[in-house]
Chain A
Amino acid sequence: MALGEPGTQWLEGNELHLELRGLAPPAPLVLVLRNLGNVPAGGALVAHFGRDPMMLYPELAQRGWAAQRVDGPPDEVRLRLTPAA
């Protein structure tokens, strides 16, 4: 699977990135939740969405994770997910 393809994941430092643009719901939600446990210790999961993942926030809340919006291209909603402090 090449970088940039929907569903691709890669590591940058201690950040696990997920490319979720182009995936039909609920795949982005499911992939993020499945990969929360794959985040390196002390790191974060950076999810690249095509739109604001409204359904994700309640699920993150139930799991004790926080979402932080970070800058990205105009056609992307990029979230940095970390355990809530």
Chain B
Amino acid sequence: MALAATFLSGAKSRLLPASVPFRYFGAALAFHLLAWLLVLLGAAQVPSFAGGLGAPLGALHAVTLGVLLMTAMGASLQLLPVATRQSVGSPRLAATLWWVMAPGSALVVAGMAHAWPGVLAAGAALVLPALLGFTLLLARNLQGARGMPVVVAHGWAALVCLGVLLASAGSLVATWLGWTAAPRTAALGWHVAFAAYGVMGLLIMGFSHILVPMFALSDAPPVRPSLCWLAVACVSLAAAATAALTSAPWNAVFGCAAALGGLVALVGHVLQMRHAMRTGMRRDLGPSFRWVHAGWALLAASLLAALALQSGLVAWPRLAPLFGVLLACGLLSVLMGILARILPFLASMHAPPGRRGPPMPSTLTADRPLAWHHRAHGAAVALLILAIALDSAWLARAAGAAGSVSAVAMLLYFRFAWMRMHAPPAVPAAEPPRTATVRVVASHKSAATEPRLPTSPLQPAAPAGPAQNPTTTQAGVSSGQGTAQATRTAPDGVAPTAPPPEPPGAGLR
């Protein structure tokens, strides 16, 4: 009984059922494909896109609403409870929101791509309450937060930005319907700044404080500098909001200040993350993280483009669409890099443990689709930037084709992790060799002969396994009573034992 009680206590895990985050991530990857298909089909309009309904606007919102926000929702619902040390208020609401958000986003994208304001408005009527529900869930979770002030502060700031985003989006939709609303230029300025740099930028910055140290196995970045960069980012957003409301010359002054401040905040954040990567036990974060780095560079480039636009020093007509592409591709690259790392990890945590414990993330990673995604995504981003710069519809078409290949590859990658997560536990002998890179500083022998009594937690890294048993293959989680079957806490936080495997597709209900 004591053991069962311990399990039930441990079962109060903050981890949601796998179907909740996975349905958001799956939808995000489907919208990813839709976005690149719209670029392919609307290639003629892409290089000269300057706003207005059509395929490019549909593609842009397939990325922002479908990929970025959908991923942010799934990741927030999964990660924020870890940071705040309390569970999501209602896992059922978290799951239900998807059923409103996903079709709503699809309608918005369809309404924009086909220039159907009525469909666009119907989609917005679904997306707005879904995002309000998401805001409510997150606000409730943040309100009782008991840890990780940096993540919590970023969460609150992102929620404020989400409020501004919703208000500006409502105003823009009203304009499309011919109703009286806020001036379109101001609403558009707020919408772009608060959606991209506000909601997405701040959520990425905040969750990076959990994810990057977790992947790199390093200490979390210090709190004070992190809060300092957050403050700079918030002031920059306020400057961007002011720029959208003022006229010349003040709009240029505030606009330049916003772009510069955003750049400073981004560089400060990236330096912190790079420090975490350099000092972590795992130095090689895999090819996925190259896209995180590339995304950071693209985001910095977008802020430089914004600075050039706001200052008026560069009168290149292609600068405005280039800014949009750099911004969207920057956020997309960071997110795809992180998502490629998260998916096998999440699948491993949710998979039914085998005789020797949970499957390793490496066994849930489909290397070939991932390699295809990396190549095709790189080609798609480069081609799209060139298409804008050279005003070429053919290059835009090629970008759409390459991007579609990258999106299909990511869908296959997702499918592999999902199927493996629901597969019966693998036979240990069939597992491939592990490839984790661990920095070795101290020897096991010296540690064994000179064990340290209460000391600082910040010790140098040590070998990952004892010398006398270097060939053991996989972790097991046993009950402590000699049973070999896993008794790890069920991810849904209810069942004290491992759940039976579900057929693929089950759980997405």
Q: Which of A's residues lie within 8 Å of B, judged by CB?
A: 1-3, 6-11, 16, 23-27, 29-31, 33-42, 50-52, 54-55, 57-72, 74-78, 80, 83-85
Asked whether, in the complex, the Cβ of A69 is within 8 Å of the Cβ of B473, the reply is no
Asked whether, in the complex, the Cβ of B475 is within 8 Å of the Cβ of A57, the reply is yes
Asked whether, in the complex, the Cβ of A9 is within 8 Å of the Cβ of B457, the reply is yes
Does B345 lie at the interface of the complex (its beta carbon under 8 Å from any beta carbon of A)?
A: yes
With known contacts A34-B281, A69-B478, A75-B9, A58–B220 Cβ distance under 8 A: no
Q: Which residues of chain B are within 8 angstroms of A80 by Cβ–Cβ distance?
A: 480
Does B191 lie at the interface of the complex (its beta carbon under 8 Å from any beta carbon of A)?
A: no
Rounded to whole angstroms, the CA-CA distance of A69 and B14 in the bound complex is 18
For B450-489 the 0/1 string (1 means CB < 8 A from A) is 0111111101111111101111111111111000000111
Asked whether, in the complex, the Cβ of B448 is within 8 Å of the Cβ of A41, the reply is yes
Q: How far is the CB of B203 from chain A (nearest CB, A)?
A: 17
Q: Which of B's residues lie within 8 Å of A, judged by CB?
A: 2-3, 5-7, 9-15, 82-83, 85, 147-148, 210, 213-214, 217-220, 281, 345, 348-349, 353, 356-362, 434, 436, 438, 440, 442-444, 447-448, 451-457, 459-466, 468-480, 487-489, 491
Asked whether, in the complex, the Cβ of A39 is within 8 Å of the Cβ of B466, the reply is yes
Rounded to whole angstroms, the CA-CA distance of A82 and B182 in the bound complex is 64
Asked whether, in the complex, the Cβ of B220 is within 8 Å of the Cβ of A51, the reply is no
Could you name 8 residue pairs across A and B whose Cβ atoms are closer than 8 Å? A9-B455, A41-B468, A42-B468, A52-B488, A58-B360, A64-B434, A69-B480, A75-B9
Choose one: B218, B434, B451, B453; the contact of A62 (CB below 8 Å): B434
Asked whether, in the complex, the Cβ of B477 is within 8 Å of the Cβ of A72, the reply is no
Q: Which residues of chain B are within 8 angstroms of A1 by Cβ–Cβ distance?
A: 454-456
Choose one: B9, B453, B477; the contact of A66 (CB below 8 Å): B477
B contact face: mostly helix, strand, loop, or mixed: loop
Q: Which residues of chain B are within 8 angstroms of A8 by Cβ–Cβ distance?
A: 454, 457
Rounded to whole angstroms, the CA-CA distance of A84 and B436 in the bound complex is 17
With known contacts A27-B219, A40-B451, A63-B436, A74–B9 Cβ distance under 8 A: yes
With known contacts A38-B452, A41-B448, A69–B466 Cβ distance under 8 A: no
With known contacts A24-B147, A26-B214, A61–B457 Cβ distance under 8 A: no
Choose one: A2, A61, A75; the contact of B358 (CB below 8 Å): A61
Given A24-B220, A62-B436, A84-B469, 12 additional A-B pairs, CB 8 A: A1-B456, A7-B457, A25-B148, A30-B218, A33-B464, A37-B444, A61-B358, A62-B361, A71-B3, A76-B9, A83-B466, A84-B357
Asked whether, in the complex, the Cβ of B447 is within 8 Å of the Cβ of A37, the reply is yes
Q: Which residues of chain B are within 8 angstroms of A67 by Cβ–Cβ distance?
A: 357, 475-478, 488
Q: Which residues of chain B are within 8 angstroms of A59 by Cβ–Cβ distance?
A: 217, 436
Rounded to whole angstroms, the CA-CA distance of A1 and B477 in the bound complex is 31
Q: How far is the CB of A48 from chain B (nearest CB, A)?
A: 12
Q: How far is the CB of A41 from chain B (nearest CB, A)?
A: 4
